[in-house]
């Protein structure tokens, strides 16, 4: 940088040159220069920055209540003004640090402290705020980053993922009603099985998602327990009595969601099991979305040489060489996202296992993977709903044709001719390429008239 482009900032290690047009300070600049890993791509997630804005504002309010001689009205309100900008998603250019930094997230915590202080001083018109003494009052990076992680994770689940899943659930309910009375071939092991109503098949998809919602909701309560107030090692050093409960109350007010203080701060700083549990529920949803998307693309396979039992919207050309080809691209996007979420779950689990003594130092990578999982899955579900499931239609003729060609309809004859004789009918029909009725009559198990009396595929569901 040329001299005219920077200003001199200092920290406990000395002076640092910082771009003049930025509000961050010395510690942010050091991290920006020392960790050139994924720059501009794998920066701290915006959801984590929003959560930091929430917790810094709440901390200022709690400190103002408990020690107004230090956290004055001017300081509290000025911190709040800057934090409101962060909560709205503004000033993203002031937070350049990558995920691949210190495992405690200290540098991102200081990035926030410096930006809030310097931006606040700019707004106030005087040197009112100090990054450590004021913005970080009663806090440590060791309790702020876990708190930001929990806030961001809980809010993303409540505000982004659960509404997306609910939208798809409602669409499946509509399709269930629309397809009542349609009977088709069931399949197990990718082989023909006994009949099933198409509405029943759809209900399986819908019920899976409803169970995933229940599990995600179950994970929210422990996720909403916050480490803030534990400071460096969980003892609460330098935080006034009652700060932890008061700051959790303010966070609840700001977010409109019920957060509480963690009962045991030593656990809250060193263990990430609540995030592991919550992401496990997210992974369960990803697994079900993989299953549903695969079912849809199998059922839509063709258009002439596959199953062809449903049609889905043709959104774009599917081949650069085969004219007229259309592919189930929305299903493919969902399955790729599901794979990413499953991989993220492994990374989160391994990272969470690495707590040493009073702190886990894999926090940024946990935050990165959790927020990515929820963001991708939420958006993939909405896209799948909008561009695929809304336009899903049953091919009644093909379902009827496949149903009556299925050899597993012979199961309906078990009560009349027994399992082994029914199996003989199925094998004969397959080997000689004749109907089940012809096989059964030729083997002498039933007359033609009796076969027609007992054989009703549409009633087997």
Domain ranges of the chain: 3-137, 143-182+198-397, 406-459
Give the tens place of pLDDT for each residue, 121-174: 999 999 999 999 999 999 999 999 999 999 999 999 999 999 999 999 999 999
Torsion of CA 152, 153, 154, 157, to 10 degrees: 120
Q: Select which of 207, 319, 353, 448 is catalytic.
A: 319
pLDDT on residue 4: 73
Those residues with Cβ within 8 angstroms of residue 163's Cβ, 6 or more apart along the chain or in another chain? none
pLDDT on residue 3: 72
Return the CATH fold of 3-137. Fumarase C; Chain B, domain 1 (1.10.275)
Per the CB < 8 A criterion, the answer to whether 241 and 48 are in contact is no
Q: Which residues of the chain have pLDDT under 50?
A: none
Those residues with Cβ within 8 angstroms of residue 389's Cβ, 6 or more apart along the chain or in another chain? 168, 171, 172, 175, 296
Q: Is 406-459 CATH 1.10.8.60?
A: no
Nearest one of 225, 252, 227, 247 to 63, comparing CA atoms: 247
User: Is residue 319 annotated as a catalytic residue, yes or no?
Assistant: yes
Beta bridge partner(s), residue 355: 360
pLDDT on residue 119: 98
User: Is residue 189 annotated as a catalytic residue, yes or no?
Assistant: yes
- Whether the model clears a pTM of 0.85, i.e. scores above it, the answer is yes
**Span 143-182+198-397: which CATH code?**
1.20.200.10
Taking CA atoms, 74 is separated from 85, 101, 129, 131, 338, in Å, by: 17, 33, 10, 15, 48
> 363-387 and 273-299 are packed helices; what angle lies between their axes, rounded to 10 degrees?
30
User: Rounded distance, CA 56 to CA 116, Å?
Assistant: 9
Q: Could you give the 3-state DSSP secondary structure of residue 180? A: coil
pLDDT on residue 1: 57
């Amino acid at each position: 940088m040329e001299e005219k482009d920077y200003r001199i900032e200092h920290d406990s290690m000395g002076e640092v040159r910082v771009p003049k047009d930025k509000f961050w300070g010395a510690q942010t600049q050091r991290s920006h220069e020392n960790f050139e890993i994924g720059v501009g791509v794998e920066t701290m997630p915006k959801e984590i920055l929003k959560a930091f804005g929430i917790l810094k504002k709440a901390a200022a309010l709690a400190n103002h209540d408990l020690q107004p001689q230090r956290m004055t009205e001017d300081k509290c309100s000025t911190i709040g003004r800057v934090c409101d900008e962060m909560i709205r998603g503004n000033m993203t250019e002031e937070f350049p640090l990558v995920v691949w930094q210190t495992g405690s997230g200290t540098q991102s915590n200081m990035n926030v402290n410096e930006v809030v202080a310097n931006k606040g001083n700019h707004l106030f018109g005087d040197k009112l705020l100090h990054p450590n003494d004021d913005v970080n009052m009663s806090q440590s990076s060791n309790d702020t980053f876990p708190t930001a992680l929990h806030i961001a994770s809980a809010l993303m689940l409540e505000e982004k993922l659960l509404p997306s899943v609910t939208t798809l659930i409602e669409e499946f309910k509509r399709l269930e009603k629309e397809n009542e009375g349609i009977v088709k071939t069931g399949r197990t092991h990718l082989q023909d099985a006994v009949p099933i109503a198409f509405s029943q098949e759809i209900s399986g998809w819908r019920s899976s998602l409803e169970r995933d919602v229940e599990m995600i909701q179950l994970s929210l309560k422990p996720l909403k327990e916050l480490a803030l107030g534990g400071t460096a090692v969980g003892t609460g050093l330098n935080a006034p009595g009652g700060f932890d409960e008061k700051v959790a109350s303010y966070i609840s007010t700001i977010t409109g969601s019920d957060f509480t203080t963690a009962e045991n701060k030593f656990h809250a700083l060193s263990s990430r099991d609540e995030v592991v549990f919550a992401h496990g529920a997210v992974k369960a949803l990803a697994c079900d979305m993989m299953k549903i998307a695969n079912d849809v693309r199998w059922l839509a396979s063709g258009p002439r040489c596959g199953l062809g039992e449903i049609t889905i919207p043709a959104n774009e050309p599917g081949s650069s060489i085969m004219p007229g080809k259309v592919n189930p691209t929305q299903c493919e996007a969902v399955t790729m996202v599901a794979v990413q979420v499953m991989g993220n779950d492994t990374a989160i689990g391994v990272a969470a296992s690495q707590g040493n003594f009073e702190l886990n130092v894999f926090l940024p990578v946990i935050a990165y993977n959790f927020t990515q999982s929820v963001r991708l899955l939420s958006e993939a579900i909405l896209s799948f709903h909008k561009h695929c499931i809304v336009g899903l239609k049953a091919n009644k003729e093909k379902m009827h044709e496949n149903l009556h060609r299925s050899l597993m309809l012979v199961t309906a004859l078990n009560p009349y001719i027994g399992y082994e004789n029914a199996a003989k009918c199925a094998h004969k029909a397959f080997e000689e390429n004749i109907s089940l009725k012809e096989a059964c009559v030729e083997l002498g198990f039933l007359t033609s008239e009796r076969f027609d009396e007992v054989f009703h595929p549409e009633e087997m569901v």
